[in-house]
């Protein structure tokens, strides 16, 4: 299979948040002739639209700067040859749900996008969903060329959330395209961890806090000296 070139777009804050992301990015394989774009700032919808307007090649791969991924991630996504596909990735706060949604019928008969668990999505392969986030998501040129610009829009779903990614997916579906999650390609989601020593029931322990999740771990034994006498 010949994998054609496209555009890799990295959306980052002005200072670049995570060294681990850049370590993954520097090791990444991509087809020869691929265009690299880095866009800064918090105007995500505007930056994503800029990418699609200036993209070269047959696809765009969106990367946020808070992910880690194996070097063959892009190659594996390209091999799927589907409209829109995201690696399986979970949110960085509890209950750590995948960044994927399916439309489900509610008790009142209306249809509504609902978050999924990893178990809901399944075990392996590429599974169809109704919306994905844009972290690590690959979009084929035929998708945005089959839609009206601007492709990403602020506040399209509610007045309180950005949701430019979910709105894009909904309009892509209306245009006849399908979104997928690749369960065979997991990627990491980086998060800040607060590590605090805590005196608990007569012993020192360590508290790890990520978002609203806090975990107590037992203290550890003194490590051996690096250069014992």
Q: What is the pLDDT along the chain (229 residues), one digit of tens a residue?
A: 779 999 999 998 776 678 899 999 999 999 999 999 999 988 999 999 999 999 999 999 999 999 999 999 999 999 999 999 999 999 988 889 999 999 988 888 888 888 999 999 999 999 999 999 999 999 999 999 999 999 999 888 776 667 899 999 999 999 999 999 999 999 999 988 899 998 888 888 899 998 888 888 876 666 666 655 5
Q: Are 43 and 132 contained in the same domain?
A: yes
222 belongs to a structural domain: yes
Q: Are 197 and 182 contained in the same domain?
A: no
Range of the domain at 146: 7-189
Q: Report the alpha-carbon distance of residue 85 to residue 90 in Å, rounded.
A: 15
Q: Are 52 and 83 contained in the same domain?
A: yes
Q: Are 182 and 206 contained in the same domain?
A: no
In total, the chain counts a number of residues equal to 229
Q: Are 208 and 171 contained in the same domain?
A: no
What local confidence, expressed as pLDDT, does residue 222 receive? Answer: 63
Whether residue 37 is preceded by a cis peptide bond, meaning omega within 30 degrees of 0, is: no
Closest CA to 66 of 9, 96, 21, 27: 21
């Amino acid at each position: 299979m010949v994998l054609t070139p496209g555009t890799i777009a990295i959306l980052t804050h002005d200072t670049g948040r995570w060294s681990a992301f850049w370590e993954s990015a520097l090791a990444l394989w991509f087809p020869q002739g691929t265009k690299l774009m880095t866009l800064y700032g918090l105007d995500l919808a505007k930056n994503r639209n800029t990418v699609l307007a200036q993209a070269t090649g047959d696809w765009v791969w969106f990367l946020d700067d808070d992910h880690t991924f194996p070097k063959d991630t892009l190659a594996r996504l390209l091999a799927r040859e589907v409209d829109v596909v995201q690696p399986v990735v979970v949110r960085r706060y509890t209950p750590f749900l995948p960044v994927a949604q399916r439309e489900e019928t509610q008790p009142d008969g209306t249809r509504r996008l609902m978050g999924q668990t990893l178990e809901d999505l399944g075990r392996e392969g590429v599974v169809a969903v109704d919306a994905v986030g844009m972290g690590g998501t690959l979009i084929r040129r035929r998708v945005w060329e089959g839609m009206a610009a601007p492709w990403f829009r602020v506040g399209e779903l509610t007045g309180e959330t950005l949701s430019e990614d979910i709105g894009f997916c909904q309009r892509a579906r209306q245009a006849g395209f399908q979104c997928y999650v690749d369960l065979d390609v997991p990627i990491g989601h980086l998060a800040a961890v607060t590590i605090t020593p805590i005196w608990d029931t007569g012993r020192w322990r360590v508290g790890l806090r990520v978002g609203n999740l806090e975990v107590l771990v037992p203290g550890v034994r003194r490590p051996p000296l690096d250069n014992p006498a």
